[in-house]
Amino acid sequence: MAEPAETVLEAGNLVKHYPLTRGVVLRKQVGAVKAVDGVDFRLGRGETLGIVGESGCGKSTVAKMLVNLERPTAGSIRYKGEDITRLSGRALKAVRRNIQMVFQDPYTSLNPRMTVGDIVGEPYDIHPEVAPKGDRRRRVQELLDVVGLNPEHINRYPHQFSGGQRQRIGIARGLALRPEVIVADEPVSALDVSVQAQVINLMDRLQKEFDLAYVFIAHDLSIVRHISDRVGVMYLGRIVETGTDTEIYDHPTHPYTQALLSAVPVPDPEARERRERIILSGDVPSPTNVPSGCRFRTRCWKARERCAREVPVLAVPEPFAADGGPAAHPSACHFAAEKQVVP
Amino acid sequence: MLLEVRDLHVEFHTRDGVVKAVNGVSYGVEAGETLAVLGESGSGKSVTAQAVMGILDMPPGRITRGKVVFRGRDLLGLREDERRRVRGAEMAMIFQDALSSLNPVLTVGDQLGEMFTVHRGMSRRDARAKAVELMDRVRIPAAWERVRQYPHQFSGGMRQRIMIAMALALEPALIIADEPTTALDVTVQAQVMELLAELRREYRMGLVLITHDLGVVADVADRIAVMYAGRIVESAPVHDIYKAPAHPYTRGLLDSIPRLDHKGRELYAIKGLPPHLTHVPPGCAFHPRCPLARDVCRTQEPPLYEVSPTRGSACHFWTECLDG
């Protein structure tokens, strides 16, 4: 194992609740959508943290909080030790430069009335100190070149590009301010399979070239494994298991991770009979009405009485703590146990 | 053969010119068999299915050539009212987006029941009972209560079950499922695919599964037809294709899947982009992106060469591709 890299971003007990109110004149809060309910992680320089989970698990809300598009209800986000949730004005603006975002949908995240040059160069209007006015066109062309687009297309509009090329434009915009962290929310899920690999390779190359740290949010488990150093599995607003990619994919100890991995179709027809598939019953509960105790217990085949009573903490489960093997990574389950699910 | 599509050609007339969406597609499905039609957006996989179902918008669409033979009859020669009797009763379709495929102002019970009142002339009360039975069949809990609910009151996975129930209602011989689980989460996708496979076995239906997901194909298909730019470029039993693809496009798709032993290395990526269907490259449509391309590929369109009696590849150099 290499020395852990310097921490650039750290989330501490991050919470986002959206209040549910009733009444027009006398508004009162009747509940809350607990989109994110206590998430911790740390991200080292040049490292990739993958966050996986199904729709509604809160992974996109985490992304938005990291780039300050949403204010957390509670908790902290530290960029190099400084809590950015408490900053405002100029100090906040300075920090935001270093944390940029790449969005999922390359069709709606680019303004159709702006040229590519304006889109990629817009960050310089907000942070003019990064690039002097006369230098911008050259910089934008450089960026287009870096992401594999023709620099001469600087005056074209988004509709003149394909989906994969548009995602490259989005990435170029994210890179414009030379950030240290890029938060990518499902950056390839809207793309065709043959184009996904191109964009993943591009992100890989840029990471090495610019020493970027990624928070890579996706539902495609094989892509997350390919690109991530560490992975966090989210369920209903919390990280239920976290570890290195090998720990999570080859030695999962949380039943949800095991079910998730076993449900992923494997592109190998020979594996069809060999695999054990864990089919979960039912749907994810509503985040307005989170189950008591362990939030996964309503769909868990291992659930016992204790699971309804006690909230499991995200920590290395006791049986594995001593041996220090690959199963010794944080897992929020009272009955954590290893189970080989991927053939 | 339950369904046989022969040399189907479909065009769309648009302001930008003629879009040749389907250019000579042929495939067959036996009763009880699952055929996966694999392709990326714009490959013509959905348009082919719409032509088979008879739900293609015409105009702008036009079927310029070909036959769709279903249980011995050419469907393209039927009158619209005859066609309508086939649709639903003998072949049914499941769409990707259940929410926009269901009527939001009718209860699911009314929509399921309609299949029986319209096609079978049942009374409303009997049709309602049938609807509950079907919802039970696709394992929707508390069906007798939920039959009165509207589509928006169901989760995505449950709505897709209702779509499946509707397709199964009249026990058709063939089901065409167009990306049935693409909009669903993996754990729910697994539930729905399992259900679909089980019902298909039970009713011995033929299934045409349209998808872009090589994982789903490996899980459920017997045969696979890979489409590119409106043509079938490879067709084979599922085990053969994953062991050794006989077309560079198929090989490229399989190689671009992230795999364990490739971790940290660059993924294989097919260079370039799929063509615009108004300007399909001459010769082999894949040649601008193909690592094996030579002069002949630029000028001569490859026919579907016979690789084995059950297998075909539209590549001049399929032997090379097969050898890796």
B39 vs A: CB within 8 A: no
Residue of B nearest to A205 (CA): B266
Distance from CA of A264 to the nearest CA of B (A): 6
A127 vs B: CB within 8 A: no
Task: Please report the pLDDT score of residue B96 as a whole number.
Answer: 81
Closest CA to B26 of B315, B312, B274: B312
Q: Do B262 and A226 touch (CB under 8 A)?
A: yes
Q: Which residues of A touch B260 (CB under 8 A)?
A: 225
Per-residue confidence at A3, pLDDT binned at 50, 70, 90?
low
Q: How far apart are CA A233 and CA A222, in angstroms?
A: 13
Q: Do A54 and B186 touch (CB under 8 A)?
A: yes
Q: Which residues of B touch A54 (CB under 8 A)?
A: 185-188
Region(s) of chain A under CATH 3.40.50.300: 7-19+32-228
A198 vs B: CB within 8 A: yes
Mean pLDDT of B105-133: 90
Residue of A nearest to B273 (CA): A195
CATH superfamily of A7-19+32-228: P-loop containing nucleotide triphosphate hydrolases (3.40.50.300)
| A4 or B52, higher pLDDT | B52
Give yes or no for a contact between A250 and A326, defined as CB atoms under 8 angstroms apart: yes
SS3 B106: coil
Per-residue confidence at A52, pLDDT binned at 50, 70, 90?
very high
Instruction: Render pLDDT for B250-261 as a digit per residue (tens, 0 to 9).
Output: 999 998 888 766
Quote ipTM for the complex. 0.79
Selected for mutation to probe chain A from B194, B257, B261 (highest A CB count within 10 Å) is B257
Mean pLDDT over each residue of chain A, to the nearest integer: 88
Indicate if the pLDDT at residue B153 is higher than 90. Answer: no
Instruction: Render pLDDT for B58-81 as a digit per residue (tens, 0 to 9).
Output: 888 899 999 999 998 999 888 888
**pTM, entire model:** 0.85
Q: How far apart are CA A269 and CA A262, in angstroms?
A: 15
Q: Using CB atoms, which residue from B194, B242, B260 is nearest to A269?
A: B242
Closest CA to A242 of A50, A62, A37, A25: A50
Calculate the dihedral angle through the C-alpha atoms of B163, A222, A208, A212, rounding to the nearest 10 degrees: 50
Report residue B151 CA to chain centroid gap: 24
Residues 6+ apart with CB under 8 A from B316: B284, B294, B296, B297, B300, B302
Evaluate the omega torsion of the peptide bond into residue B237 and state whether it is cis, within 30 degrees of 0: no
Task: Please report the pLDDT score of residue B261 as a whole number.
Answer: 62
SS3 B303: coil
3-state secondary structure labels for all residues of B34-81 = EEEEECCCCCCHHHHHHHHHCCCCCCCEEEEEEEEEECCEEHHHCCHH
Burial of B16 (0-12, 13-18, 19+ CB in 10 A): exposed
Closest CA to A212 of A84, A48, A94: A48
Closest CA to B123 of B133, B132, B113: B113
Give yes or no for a contact between A291 and A332, defined as CB atoms under 8 angstroms apart: no
Instruction: Render pLDDT for B175-232 as a digit per residue (tens, 0 to 9).
Output: 999 988 877 778 878 888 888 888 888 888 999 999 988 888 888 899 999 999 999 9
| A107 or A154, higher pLDDT | A154
Give yes or no for a contact between A209 and A148, defined as CB atoms under 8 angstroms apart: no
| B279 or B48, higher pLDDT | B48
Instruction: Render pLDDT for A231-243 as a digit per residue (tens, 0 to 9).
Output: 999 999 999 999 9
Instruction: Render pLDDT for A257-315 as a digit per residue (tens, 0 to 9).
Output: 999 988 888 888 887 777 778 888 777 888 888 899 999 999 999 999 999 999 999 99
Task: Please report the pLDDT score of residue A1 as a whole number.
Answer: 43
Indicate if the pLDDT at residue B46 is higher than 50. Answer: yes
Distance from CA of A124 to the nearest CA of B (A): 31
Whole-number percent of chain B with pLDDT over 70: 98
Mean pLDDT of B7-11: 93
Selected for mutation to probe chain B from A245, A248, A283, A340 (highest B CB count within 10 Å) is A283
Task: Please report the pLDDT score of residue A343 as a whole number.
Answer: 54
Task: Please report the pLDDT score of residue A342 as a whole number.
Answer: 60
A192 vs B: CB within 8 A: yes
Distance from CA of A208 to the nearest CA of B (A): 11
Q: Do A200 and B274 touch (CB under 8 A)?
A: no
Per-residue confidence at B15, pLDDT binned at 50, 70, 90?
confident
Distance from CA of A261 to the nearest CA of B (A): 9
Distances (CA, A) of B131 to B109, B134, B166, B198, B204: 6, 5, 9, 19, 21
Provide CATH code, domain B3-90+205-284+296-322. Answer: 3.40.50.300
Q: Which residues of B touch A271 (CB under 8 A)?
A: 218
Task: DSSP for B162-231, please give it.
Answer: HHHHHHHTT--SEEEEESTTTTS-HHHHHHHHHHHHHHHHHHT-EEEEEES-HHHHHHH-SEEEEEETTE
Provide the residue ranges of all domains of chain B, joining segments of one domain with +. Answer: 3-90+205-284+296-322
Which letter, b or e, does each residue of B225-239 get, where b requires 16 or more Cβ atoms within 10 Å of its Cβ? bbbbbbbbbbbbbbe
Evaluate the omega torsion of the peptide bond into residue A112 and state whether it is cis, within 30 degrees of 0: no
The two structure tokens encoding residue B117:
């009142």
Give yes or no for a contact between B176 and B93, defined as CB atoms under 8 angstroms apart: yes
Q: Do A193 and B212 touch (CB under 8 A)?
A: yes
Q: Do B267 and A245 touch (CB under 8 A)?
A: no
A148 vs B: CB within 8 A: no
3-state secondary structure labels for all residues of chain A = CCCCCCEEEEEEEEEEEEEEEECCCCCEEEEEEEEEEEEEEEEECCCEEEEECCCCCCHHHHHHHHCCCCCCCEEEEEECCEEHHHCCHHHHHHHHCCEEEECCCCCCCCCCCCCHHHHHHHHHHHCCCCCCHHHHHHHHHHHHHHCCCCHHHHHCCHHHCCHHHHHHHHHHHHHCCCCCEEEEECCCCCCCHHHHHHHHHHHHHHHHHHCCEEEEEECCHHHHHHHCCEEEEEECCEEEEEEEHHHHHHCCCCHHHHHHHHHCCCCCCCHHHHCCCCCCCCCCCCCCCCCCCCCCHHHCCCCCHHHHHCCCCCECCHHHHCCCCCCCCCECCCCCCCCCCCC
Residue of B nearest to A269 (CA): B218
